[in-house]
Amino acid sequence: MNTINELDAVALTCDLPAHGLVRGDVGTAVLVHGNGQAFEVEFVGYDGHTVALLTLERTQVRPLQTRDIPHARELEHA
């Protein structure tokens, strides 16, 4: 499994409907907990507002990869 460091971009590996987030949404790991067991991840809209700041387990996020592409979608509020 690839290492995730603070300020790395990460993608969700699962939907988080309570927060209006879906698998593949991209956030930034702003804090690493327990040697990479969990992360504080911030999800930000293109206008700069914070959509969500969540503590997520390692299984809920993955590092971005070279074959990933950006994708835009309209946020549906929870």
Amino acid at residue number 71? H
* pTM attached to this predicted model: 0.92
pLDDT at 37: 96
Q: How far apart are CA 75 and CA 68, in angstroms?
A: 20
Residue 76 covered by a domain = no
Residue 68 covered by a domain = no
What pLDDT tens digit does each residue of the chain (78 aa) get? 689 999 999 999 999 999 999 999 999 999 999 999 999 999 999 999 999 999 999 999 999 999 999 999 998 765
Residue 22 covered by a domain = yes
Domain with 41 in it: 9-63
Total number of domains constituting the chain: 1
